[in-house]
Structure 1
C-alpha cells in the first residue's frame, strides 16, 4: 500500500449543527485515511488539535458521501471548545492515557481517595478527558463506596480549585442554597432582594436546569439578563448589593455541572458528591456565611429526617474545614412551592411576592422570609430570633421590591416574563381532600410541556395538600408553546392519574 502523504493526514472541519448537549463529538468517514492510519474505531476517544486549542472528542463513523475523505464533522459542543471556522485544518491523534482512572478503579474496590487522587480526577474531568462512561464509573464508585469526611473535604477543595475564585471587599458575603427536589421552590430572587435591601452583600450565582423544569437562572432570565461575566457581576453587586446570575458564565467549580448531568441520568446522588457540589460553589463565589435549606419529603431529594440529620452533619463539618459559617434549616418537602413550575410561571410567583400582591403564593413568601431571616441573623444584620420579622418588614414596606428592580436594571434591564399560547386544565377525577402530590412526576409534566427551553411552558398548580376539591375541578393547568408539546405532556398525565392523590369522602 502506498504511504500516506502529509495532505492525507489533514482534516478540514465542518460544522454539522449537531446538538449533543455537553459531549464533544466528531464524525469521520469509516474509510477516512486518518482513521485507517491511526487505527481509530467508532466510539474511540481522540484528540483534536487546531491552531490554538486541543480537545478530546468521541468519534462516530459514517459511510457514503455525507462527509469527504478528509473532512471531520463537529458537534456544536466540539465546535465551541475547539474555536474553529469552517474549512480550517485540524489534526487528530490518540490522547495520552488517563492516569487518574486507576484511582477510580481503586475506589471501586474499596480504596480511599486522597487529596492528590481527587485533584487528579477533577483536573481530568474539567479538561474534558473523561467520557460519560468514565464519569459514570467515578459517580457510581462514590455512591457504592461512600466518601468519608476527609474525602469529602478533599473533593470539595479539588472542585473549588479547578475553576475561578471570587473575592470581595465586603464582609460578610452571604449566600443560600436549597438542596432541591421541590418544583417551584424559587426563593432565591426574593431572598437576595430582602438581604441586599438590609445592607448585606449577596452575589448569587445560580444554576440552569439540568433535568428539572427550571433552575433559578432560567426563571431569573425571564426577568433580566443572567449571562454576566465577572466584571459585570462586580458592577451589579457594587450598585445594588446583590445579583442573581448564571454560574456557568463565571466558571465557578466547573466540574460540578458535568458531574450533576451524569448523576441525574443515573439517578444517583451520593452524599459526598452532593456536599462537595454545594459547598465548592459557595467557597469559589467568595461566600463567608451560608444558609442551607434541606426540604424533606417522600419525593424530594432528601427523603427522611434521619437522612437530613446525616447530611446536615456532613455539610457543617466540611464547611467548617474551609472557614465557612453555615446555618441549616430542615423544611417541609412534601409538595411543590408556589403555583408555577417552569421559568416564566415561577418568575410570576416571584414578582407577586415581591410586589406584595394579595394573591401572591403564601407558601413561597413564608419560605423565602424564613431563609432571608436566617441569613440576616447569620450575617449580623438582625439579632437572634429577630431575623424573620425584619425580613417580613423589608418585604412589606417595598424595600425588597425596590432593590430587586435595581438589581434587574443593573444586570441589563427588567423585562416581562412570556405567557404560553396553549393551556389545558387537568381536572380532579373525584371529590375529596388532596393527600399527596408527586413532586417528580409533576415536574415531568412540566418538562414534557417544553420547560425549561420553552420559557413560558410548565405547570400552574391550583391545589396544595389538604385542599378540598370537587370532581371536575382543576388540579393544575399545563402550559405549552405548541399544540404538540401540550398533547405530549397530557398523554403522560393520562397515563399517570395519581400525580395528585385525593382521598374520597
Structure 2
C-alpha cells in the first residue's frame, strides 16, 4: 500500500487510516480499532486502525497520523507492507497484576519492552496503570519497575563525584522553583543536569514554563554541551530517551487523571538515575487540595522514595512543604515564568513565597552537594540570589540552550472580583488549576491566571481575586462559567 500523510494529530498514539473496502482489510479481516503493523524502508510502527469510506483515500493507500508518520520516518507515496500486529505477550502479565498477582523484575522488563516497542495500545497502557493504582505496587515491585524504566532508555554519565537533582511531586499550582534552584546550585559550582516534564494534570509543567524562556527540546549532545559550559540545564526530558516509557505513561495518566504512588516513584527516580544523578532533593507539598493530602501520607511517600532511591544508588532528601495554597501569583506557563524572572532579578514585586520555597530547597541541595557546610546552606543560597549570581547563571544557561526570550502575553485578560468584602480563608488548588486549564493552559503558553490574593488577605467588594489570561473571549467565558459553579477561593464575610 502507498503511504499518505493525512495531517491527523493524535496526542502520541500512532493511527492508520484505511478504506473499509481495501484489499488488506478484506483479506485480513481487519476492523476499526484493530492494531496493524506498517513497515517500510527497514522501519516499522504499530498503529491503531481507523476505517474510512471512499473519498478520503484510494483503495491502495494507507493514511498515517503525524505520530505514526514521524516514527516510521515515512516519505509521501512510499510503498509499505501492512499486516495485523502480533499480540503483545506482556498483556498476560498485566492481567496477572490486575487479578491481584505480584510482578517480578523480568515481568516489568517484558512489559516495558513492549511499551517501548509500541506494542501496547492506549487502552492496554491504561489497564496497566490502573492496575498499579487499584492494587498498589509494593517496594519490591516499585524498585523493579524503576529499574525496567531505566533499562529501556539512554543514560547520561558525568565526570563529577556528585551530580545533583531536584524534583517536586506536584499538585501545587505555581510551584515553579526549579529554574531558581538550578540557577543557585549551578552558580555555587554544583553539577545539576535538570530534565523536567511537561504538564500531566496541571496547567503547566516545568518544561512548559521554561520553554517560554528558552528552548528545552535539546538532544543528549546539546544537554552535555550546556552542562559542561554552565554546570546545569533545564530541559524537557521527553526530547531525549531518558526513561522513554515514562513519556507514554504520562500521556495516559493525563487522559485518565491518575498518578498512583508506585508509578510516581518509578517515574521520578528512573529519570534521576537515567540523567546520571547521585543526589536528589524532593519537594512534597502537603495540603487538603494538594496531591498529597496529609503529613502521614507525605512521610510514607518520603520513606518510600528514600528506600527505593537507595536501592538504585541515589541519595534522596525529602522536604515536606506547605501545600495549602498556590505558590507565587502565576498559574500557567508564561504567568509562572514571569514570577521566576521577578525572583531571579530581585524585582520589588517578586512573590516572596516562591523565593522562600526555592531558597529552602536550595539550602538542602547546597549542603547535600558539599557546596555549603551543614547549617550554612540557607545563608549561601540567599546571598547568591540577592547579589545577582543566580540571575547571571540562569541567563547564561538560557543563552547556551538557545537564547533567553520573554514570555508571551495573553490576548485577553479579565479580572474576577470578590462579590463581597471579607477575608480569604481557603484556596482550592485543584479548582484553581482547572480554571487555568479552561483558560487554555498549558496548550496556549500565554494562558492561565494571575492571583491577586492569598489565604489570610482581606478584600473589599469588587476587588480582583485573580486575572484570567486567555487567547479568546470564549475561553474566558468557559473559565468563568466553571468559577460560577465551583469557586476556588473562599471569602468569609
Smaller-chain TM-score range?
Answer: over 0.9
Aligned to 1:230: 220
Aligned to 1:503: 492
Pick from 473, 480, 488 the counterpart of residue 490 of structure 1.
480
Structure 1 residues 51-66: aligned runs within 5 Å: 51-66=41-56
* 1:323 positional shift: 1.2
Aligned to 1:8: none
* 1:253 positional shift: 0.5
Pick from 37, 41, 50 the counterpart of residue 47 of structure 1.
37
Aligned to 1:3: none
Aligned to 2:90: 100
Deviation by residue 1:5-42 (Cα, 9 ceiling, x = unmatched): xxxxxx11111111111111111111111100111111
Structure 1 residues 262-301: aligned runs within 5 Å: 262-301=252-291
Does the aligned pair in 1 maintain the 2:13–2:47 contact within 8 Å?
yes
Structure 1 residues 205-354: aligned runs within 5 Å: 205-354=195-344
Aligned to 1:85: 75
Does the aligned pair in 2 maintain the 1:49–1:55 contact within 8 Å?
yes
Pick from 367, 384, 389 the counterpart of residue 399 of structure 1.
389
* 1:210 positional shift: 3.1
For structure 2, the residue ranges without an aligned partner over 5 or more in a row are: none
Pick from 109, 116, 127 the counterpart of residue 119 of structure 1.
109
* Range 440-449 or range 285-294, more displaced: 440-449
Partners of 1:346 and 1:268 lie apart in 2 by: 24
Q: Secondary structure at the match of 1:18?
A: coil
Partners of 1:439 and 1:70 lie apart in 2 by: 52
For structure 1, the residue ranges without an aligned partner over 5 or more in a row are: 1-10
Deviation by residue 1:440-462 (Cα, 9 ceiling, x = unmatched): 12111111212112211110001
Aligned to 1:145: 135
Partners of 1:217 and 1:147 lie apart in 2 by: 28
Does the aligned pair in 2 maintain the 1:155–1:276 contact within 8 Å?
yes
* 1:234 positional shift: 1.1
* 1:484 positional shift: 2.5
What is the TM-score normalised by the length of structure 2?
0.98
* 1:325 positional shift: 0.7
What is the TM-score normalised by the length of structure 1?
0.96
Aligned to 1:362: 352
Q: Secondary structure at the match of 2:6?
A: strand
Does the aligned pair in 1 maintain the 2:439–2:479 contact within 8 Å?
yes
Does the aligned pair in 2 maintain the 1:171–1:201 contact within 8 Å?
no
Does the aligned pair in 1 maintain the 2:200–2:253 contact within 8 Å?
no
* Range 217-226 or range 186-195, more displaced: 217-226
Partners of 2:269 and 2:277 lie apart in 1 by: 10
* 1:334 positional shift: 1.1
